[in-house]
């Protein structure tokens, strides 16, 4: 069923956007042919967040679109306060649509006396009044289990697959995981485009020595595609690209879902040997990203828009995983 042909089911669909990624929210609204609900999210003089829903949402099926990206705590608080405002305004159901779920890298206790912040954030979202969660490429799939409400974790792989097939010669490609932990994600994309798989294994032989990049797989003469869920500082990706080229790779590109790109990451990518870094708009691109010559942004608005439409009308979302 086309997005524009859908009725309102048992309750009217309402889309509410926070301030984290207004452009993505507007693209989703365009896809669904549903205008964004009027909502004021502003700050008091002491930077407290104040929210006012400026339309009737009583009995509505409301989707709050808000990535918890930088500044993470501000955007998380916006999400919680918007959710509380909707609950107190008698919304029938509230779905937190979180394209990028901040704190996802704190999904376990790495050492003693440390938090599992991803679980804490899941609890906050649930207790604020969310009835379900829709997110994209969680850093660790088990985070779905941190929520005590239904949680759909979409994958950007179908969007990346279409982009790769439209732009490249598939018989010369090799998909590469930049570390051992990302092998499952890389293998899934390799299977989709029928390409071989390689792995970059980084290890430190002795304390105080620099990391050695070992490439598992024959990349000679191949166009290598590095695949991962998050790029933050960009150091691992840049080093992996150099290691692949040293071992005879013809070319290196990277497809990453969430472009966190903190600190000097954009400059690091711009001056690297990567032919291109492709990221999604799960996090609103900065001006530096927009003007970078070798960074390109592809939109996940149709994917999330379709998932919202199907969720609202109790249709299957699992087919979108394919």
Residue numbers in the known binding site for D-ribose 5-phosphate are: 204, 228, 232-236
Check if the beta carbon of residue 239 is closer than 8 Å to that of residue 147: no
Given 14, 33, 119, 202, the catalytic residue: 202
Residue numbers in the known binding site for ATP are: 46-48, 105-106
- Does residue 33 have an active-site annotation? no
Cα–Cα nearest to 285, from 269, 273, 306, 303 = 269
Residue numbers in the known binding site for Mg(2+) are: 139, 179
List residues bridging with 259 in a β-sheet: 231
Check if the beta carbon of residue 277 is closer than 8 Å to that of residue 254: yes
Instruction: Give the 3-state secondary structure of the chain.
Output: CCHHHCCCCCCCEEEEECCCCHHHHHHHHHHHCCCECCEEEEECCCCCEEEEECCCCCCCEEEEECCCCCCHHHHHHHHHHHHHHHHHCCCCEEEEEECCCCCCCCCCCCCCCCCCHHHHHHHHHHHHCCCEEEEECCCCHHHHHHCCCCEEEECCHHHHHHHHHHHCCHHHEEEEECCHHHHHHHHHHHHHHCCCEEEEEEECCCCCCCCEEEEECCCCCCEEEEEEEEECCCHHHHHHHHHHHHCCCCEEEEEEEEECCCCCHHHHHHCCCCCEEEEECCCCCCHHHHHCCCEEEECCHHHHHHHHHHHHCCCCCHHHHC
227, two tokens: 């695949």
Instruction: Tell me the catalytic residues.
Output: 202
């Amino acid at each position: 069923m086309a997005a524009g042909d859908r009725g309102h089911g048992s309750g009217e669909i309402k889309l509410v956007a926070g301030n984290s990624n207004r452009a993505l929210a507007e693209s989703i609204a365009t896809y669904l042919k549903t205008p964004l609900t009027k909502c004021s999210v502003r700050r008091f003089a002491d930077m407290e967040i104040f929210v006012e829903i400026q339309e009737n949402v009583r009995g509505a099926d409301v989707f709050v679109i808000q990535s918890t990206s930088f500044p993470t705590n501000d955007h998380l608080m916006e999400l919680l306060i918007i959710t509380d405002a909707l609950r107190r305004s008698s919304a029938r159901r509230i779905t937190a649509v979180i394209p990028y779920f901040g704190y996802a890298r704190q999904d376990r206790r790495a050492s003693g006396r440390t938090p599992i912040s991803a679980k804490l954030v899941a609890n906050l979202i649930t207790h604020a009044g969310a009835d379900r969660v829709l997110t994209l490429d969680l850093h660790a799939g088990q985070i779905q289990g941190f929520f005590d409400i239904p949680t759909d974790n979409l994958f950007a792989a179908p969007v990346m697959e279409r982009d790769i097939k439209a732009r490249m010669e598939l018989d010369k490609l090799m998909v590469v995981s930049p570390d051992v932990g990302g092998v499952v994600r890389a293998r899934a994309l390799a299977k989709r485009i029928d390409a071989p798989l390689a792995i970059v294994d980084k290890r430190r032989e002795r304390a105080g020595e620099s990391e050695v990049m070992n490439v598992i797989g024959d990349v000679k003469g191949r166009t290598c595609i590095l695949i991962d869920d998050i790029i933050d500082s960009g150091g691992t990706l840049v080093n992996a690209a150099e290691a692949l080229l040293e071992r005879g790779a013809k070319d290196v590109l990277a497809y990453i879902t969430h472009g966190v790109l903190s600190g000097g990451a954009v400059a690091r990518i711009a001056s690297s040997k990567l032919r291109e870094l492709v990221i999604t708009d799960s996090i609103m691109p900065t001006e530096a990203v927009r003007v970078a010559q070798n960074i390109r942004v592809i939109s996940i608005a149709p994917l999330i828009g379709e998932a919202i439409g199907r969720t609202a009308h109790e249709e299957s979302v699992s087919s979108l995983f394919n």
